[in-house]
Structure 1
Amino acid sequence: MKVETYLFGAVEISPEKVINFPSGLVGFEESKRYTLVHEDDKAEAASFTLQSLDDPNLAFQIVDPATLGFNYELLLSDAENALLQSPATEDIAVMQLLFKKEVDGKAVISPNLRAPLVINTRARVGLQKVMESLRPNITLSNLSSAV
């Protein structure tokens, strides 16, 4: 199917590349179908665009938390596990939404630490796991120091 996007123009999307978020995303509950888009000339993408298929003007930048030094260990409720179709651990991808905010008059890009996306990559279904507080089971690594 051909989809018009805000950032990439017309893009051809195969139906098996659609990711369903049955509950939508926080603030965007009406958009339930998404796909991942990235520039083709990049060998390995560090970030992706999560493009809504329900609203061509809606897109989010997302990243693997590991690229930012985060490691999530999330506990899913029975309802969340059922929504994700009881995935195997190796079929789960956790991603962070990036957002832009103004700090001292400058635009700063930050990850949304409290509401990561959890995606069953095999079933192509996901949810946004909203956490009221950060728990100590999130580990940070210092990416600037030698390993």
Structure 2
Amino acid sequence: MKVETYLFGAVDVSPEKVITFPNGLVGFEQSKRYMLVHEEGPAEPSSFTLQSLDDPMLAFQIVDPVMLGFNYELALSDAENALLQSPSPEDVAVMQVLFRKEQDDKGSITPNLRAPLVINTKSRVGLQKVMETMRPNITLSNLSSSI
């Protein structure tokens, strides 16, 4: 199928590349179908664009938390596990949405630690795991020893 996007223009998307978020993302519940886009090159991409297929003006930059030195251990509820079609742990990808903070005319980019994306890479179904309190087991692996 051909999809018109704000960032990439007209793009051909094969149906097996579509990632479905049945509940949408927080604040964007009407957009349920997405594709991942990344820069081509010999190295593994450091970030991805999660482009909505339902709204050509909607796209998010996402990153594997490991690239930022984080390691999530999330517990999924029975309902979340069912929505993700009971994936094996090796079939789950956890990603963080990046957002821009506006402070004193300086925009810094930061990951949303409280609402990671959890994607079943086999069935291509995902959800946004919103945590009311920050209680996941997160390991920071890239802290400088001089801190």
Settle same-fold status: TM greater than 0.5: yes
Q: Write the letter of the residue equivalent to 1:69.
A: G
Provide structure 2 residue ranges, at least 5 long, that are not aligned to the other structure: none
- Distance verdict in 2 for CA 1:42–1:60, change over 3 Å: farther
Q: Sequence identity of aligned pairs in percent? A: 80
- Distance verdict in 2 for CA 1:11–1:41, change over 3 Å: farther
Q: Deviations over 1:44-98 (max 9, x none)?
A: 2100000000000000000000000110000000000000000000000000000
In structure 2, the partner of 1:78 is 78
Provide structure 1 residue ranges, at least 5 long, that are not aligned to the other structure: none
In structure 2, the partner of 1:60 is 60
Q: Does the CA contact (< 8 Å) of 2:38 and 2:45 recur in 1? A: yes
Counterpart check, 1:123 vs 2:127? no
Counterpart check, 1:12 vs 2:17? no
Q: Does the CA contact (< 8 Å) of 2:23 and 2:29 recur in 1? A: yes
4+ aligned runs moved over 6 Å, structure 1: none
| Alpha-carbon RMSD | 1.2
Q: Write the letter of the residue equivalent to 1:66.
A: V
- Distance verdict in 2 for CA 1:55–1:134, change over 3 Å: same
Q: Write the letter of the residue equivalent to 1:27.
A: G
Q: TM-score, normalised by structure 1?
A: 0.94
Task: Compute the displacement of 1:39 (Å).
Answer: 1.9
Secondary structure of 2:86 counterpart: coil
| Aligned pairs, number | 145
